[in-house]
Each structure stands twice: as structure tokens, then as C-alpha cells.
Structure 1
Amino acid sequence: MTRPPLRIAAAAAHFTRDLAFDLDRIGVIVAHARDAGVDVLALPDGALGGYVTDLRPDDLDEVDLPPALEPNGEAVRSVIDLAADMVVCLGYCERGPGGELYNAAVALCGDGILGRHRKVHQPVGVAKLFTPGCGFTAFDTPVGRMGMLIDHDKTFPESARALALDGATTIACLSAWPTSLTNRAPRMAQDRQARLFDLYDQSRAAENQVLWLSANQSGRSGNLHFLGRAKVVGPGGEILARTWSKGGLAVAEVDPDAMVDAARSVLHHLDERRPSAYS
């Protein structure tokens, strides 16, 4: 059965250690998205509890870590109540069963949890703080099969490819991606990390011929100045909607099945792969 067109959105927004503040902000963003008719909303990494405040800490014992939340705890359940019939993806710091910490993401709607992801690729500065996840798995939602990545994951083409091969036609990448720490440009648009952030979004969408939702934190947290630059990218790598450095919603109306089928109608990248040549 052909699905009707959808409105999908990615948010740029600032989140903090104050969970009550974050839940209020999520509620406001969800309300704005609902007013815009949004069916799928991607929120940034650290939407519950914020992200770390430094990627190059001098002393790991003194790192200001986000609150470690239970995967089915009160904070996550609160977002389920807010989401209602909308599919919402967001990131947070998850406490594992042995007390280990994961940089984690969850996709949910009013019916409950739809999918989860634990960040696999950890930047060197925080690699000792978080336990890496162990894979990439797509999941079914009321609006089609989706997958999730968390910021540094999108640097690696294999991450998005694994989700596409698992049937995801929409991928949400949730980030807390800052400007360059080593060579900060005078204007954010000229920053090396801003260029890479956009490049990875468009490349991963085009390589896999999928719809791509890129959400990111905005504002400042400790030594980090987040880029914002949320966007929706089509399966040809074209930017369908975007924000800039400040908070906001990038909203696009799409027909996922038709757009992906059209992109793959002549050149079908997944079918044209030659795995035997890659080893």
C-alpha cells in the first residue's frame, strides 16, 4: 500500500544538565513540529541531559558527564507521552546494566519504544568515557523502516551502509557536533567542522540513496560551541530544508517510497555493490 506524503523534521537546539528544562524544551519543539504537521522528528544527541563539555579533557576524573539515564526510565517515558502519534528520535547518556555508560539514542512514539542505538565510533577525547555500541540495526516504524546514528558514526561510510542494507530508507543522525577545537574559523560557515558536518550528511544520503535527518545541538556548553546546521537531505544528496547556527526546525514534505525508488531506478547503489572485491 502506498503511504501518503510525510513531513519530516530535524531540530537544532540547545540542551543542558537540567532534565526538567530539557523536557520543557522538547515539549516546545514537539508542539511546534506538530503545528507544522510533522510525522517524524529528529532531536539532537544529548537532548536529555546535554553532552560532555570538553572533547580534550586534561583529567578524565573531572569530566562533567551528562546524567546517566535508565533506558526505560522516567525521562524517556516522559518523551513517549509528549510524542503521541509522532515518531521522535533523541539522544542521551544511558546507564548499562553493569554501570557502564553509553552514548545512546532512542526512537519512540506514543505506543512506546520503536528502536535503539548505541554510538559505535567514539572520538578520541571521549573514548574512555563511553562504552562503544556493537552494531547498526534498522527498525520498523509507523512511517517506514528507519535507522539511527550518533554524530561521529556518520564519519564512517560503513555505518549508514549497514543501516541501508538492513532496509532503512530514512536515517536519523543525532549529533552534538562542535566547531573545530584546533583551528577555529572567524565565521562558523568557514569552520572546518561545519564543512565536514554538511559533507558527511550529503555524502551518506547520496551513497545509500536514503532520506537523511541531521539534528544537532546549538549554542555553547563548556569549551564546545555547537554548529546547529540541522537539515533534511534527499536520496540524491540534495538539501531539502535546513537551519543555520541558531536553534530551529528544518522541515520537508517527502514521499519516502517514491523518492527512494526514483533515486534507485537507474543507478541502484546497494544492488551494484561488489562485496567480494572489498576484502
Structure 2
Amino acid sequence: MRTVTLGALAGHFGRDVTRGVSKAVGIIEAAARDGVDLLVFPDATLGGYIGDLRSPDPDDLPPALDPNGPELAAIAQAAGPMTVCIGYTEAAGDTRYNAAICVSGDGVLGTHRKVHQPAGESLAYGAGDSFRTFDTPIGPLGMLIDYDKTFPESARKLALDGARVIAALSAWPASVTDRAARLPADRQSRLFDLYDCARAAENQVFVVSSNLTGVTGSLQFLGQAKVVGPGGDVLATTRSKGGLAKVQVDVEAETERARRVLNHLAELRPEIYGNERKR
């Protein structure tokens, strides 16, 4: 039996990268004192997110960072033995990506570029083209960035590649067209929670789901960081407030227990899931 502590952060981060790095390092240090083994920061932690989904302001885009630059090196150094997933805007030549990187004190463990782009996000970022599971000190892990988790195939690809934990980093706002008076009643609030639980239950994996809080431009972010177990049950949550949702679990034992009788991945029938319409 090997237990680890999984932590998902809800917090506010803005355009100031230097301040964001300093804040993130402080959070990592506090999490280390609390015995956290996996810490998942939100999407766009370093440099913030765009301020308008439908029409991003080209003069107010998040600063793009070199993945080999000093900012992410500082995060890795602070991580030490901890596994840390964090979101930022990646500079890749003339293209910018909404990206996530997973690091420890040993260096980069894995990377992800957001594949699915909602509304006008393609005006600010290029699109990624893959989902990858990679080894970490807490076991096989894959990453999704906010809208990616709307699509079941994203998490399924990671699970089929062996992921036992999915880190879902988000900059997920309340509805931009029909915002509710109270965030917990907002349609996007309900969907955010639904997708977290569904992706965990479908694939019988842990989902460690982070999110931004506060306001950027016209967007109000939901928080609702949480850790979901392989049965789809919420094990810890921040609700709409900032903070850290954390829980101690035995990832391998709990995953095996969830799959003991009904093993969804083993019982798939991919030969009948074709896209053609039958007449």
C-alpha cells in the first residue's frame, strides 16, 4: 500500500509573470509542508488568461514564455520531490499555445498543448494535436486543459495509454451569454462539475481538477477545484472559493478496486464505434 496526497488549486493569477512565479513558489512550499505529492495549478497560472472568449484583445494577450526559460525552471526547482502541473502560454516560434507542463525537481516530466478551442480562442492560440500519458513519481499521469475535458475522447485516450491520474487544468469561466446571479447556479458551474465526475467515472481514474478564480476582462472564473475518485465521487473540493482541495489516497489500490468487477477499459467494443451513419 502506497498512499499519496493529491492537491488541486483554485486561485487568481494575472498578467504579472514575476508575481505569478513568486506566488506559485510560495504555494508549492506551503503544499510541501502539508505533505502534498501532486499539486495541480490552474490553466494560465503564469501570465493569466485572455479577457474575452469571443474576441480576444490582441493588445492584451498573456505573455508567452519559453518552456526552457527561468520562470518554469523556478517552478521545477521549488517542486523538489513533488510533482507539479502548471499552466502558461508557451512561445513556439511565431505560434503561441495554451499549454501545461508537469515538472519535479528532476526536470520536465510531461507537457500538453490544449487541443480543443472554444469560441474565439483560436484567435489567440494555436491548437495542440495530441494527448500523452507519462510517468511521474505518483504514477502514470496525463493532462487536459479546460475545454479538452468536454470531449470524452480526450480523457479516454489518456486512460487507454495507462493514466491512473488525469490533471485537468482550467481557466473555466461562468457563462458568457447567460450568466446566473449566483455562481453555483450558473450553467457552466454545473457543467464543470459534471465533466470532472463523468471523465473520472467513465475511465475509472482519478481526476485532479484545478481552476482560476476572480475576474479577467469580461470573464469571471468559477473556482471549484476538486479531486474526484475513480467511481466519480468528489473526494475534496474548494467549491467556488480559492484554496487547495487535497486528499490522501492509494491511487493503484483504489483504481484496481474500481475496476475489479466492471472494468470499463477492458470491456470496450471499439470495433463497433465507427463514425459512419447506418441507414
Question: For this structure pair, what is the TM-score category when the shorter chain's length is used for normalisation?
Answer: over 0.9
Q: Which runs of 5+ in 2 are unaligned?
A: 275-279
Q: Tell me which moved more, 5-14 or 20-29.
A: 20-29
**Amino acid of the structure 1 residue aligned with 2:236:** A
Deviation sequence 1:32-70 (CA, Å, 0-9, x none): 21121100000000111111111122xx56352110111
Number of residue equivalences: 274
Name the counterpart of 2:86: 90
Compared with structure 1, are the counterparts of its residues 164 and 66 closer, same or farther at alpha carbon in structure 2 (3 Å cutoff)?
same
Name the counterpart of 1:268: 263
Give me the identity figure in percent: 55
Give the deviation of 1:132 after TM superposition. Answer: 0.7
Deviation sequence 1:95-133 (CA, Å, 0-9, x none): 11x310111100000000000000000112212221111
RMSD over aligned CA atoms reads 1.0
Deviation sequence 1:151-188 (CA, Å, 0-9, x none): 00000000000000000000000000000011110111
Q: TM-score, normalised by structure 2?
A: 0.96
1:100 to 78, 95, 101: 95
**Amino acid of the structure 2 residue aligned with 1:41:** L
Name the counterpart of 2:23: 25
Name the counterpart of 1:79: 75
SS in 1 for 2:123: coil
CA–CA distance in 2 between the matches of 1:62 and 1:152? 21
SS in 1 for 2:65: coil
1:245 to 240, 249, 265: 240
Residue pair 1:81, 1:110 contacting (<8 A) in 2 also:
yes
Residue pair 2:164, 2:206 contacting (<8 A) in 1 also:
yes
Q: TM-score, normalised by structure 1?
A: 0.96
Moved over 4 A (4+): none
Name the counterpart of 1:116: 111
Residue pair 2:197, 2:233 contacting (<8 A) in 1 also:
yes
SS in 2 for 1:22: helix
Residue pair 1:13, 1:217 contacting (<8 A) in 2 also:
yes
SS in 1 for 2:194: helix
Q: Which runs of 5+ in 1 are unaligned?
A: none
Residue pair 2:58, 2:124 contacting (<8 A) in 1 also:
no
SS in 2 for 1:91: strand
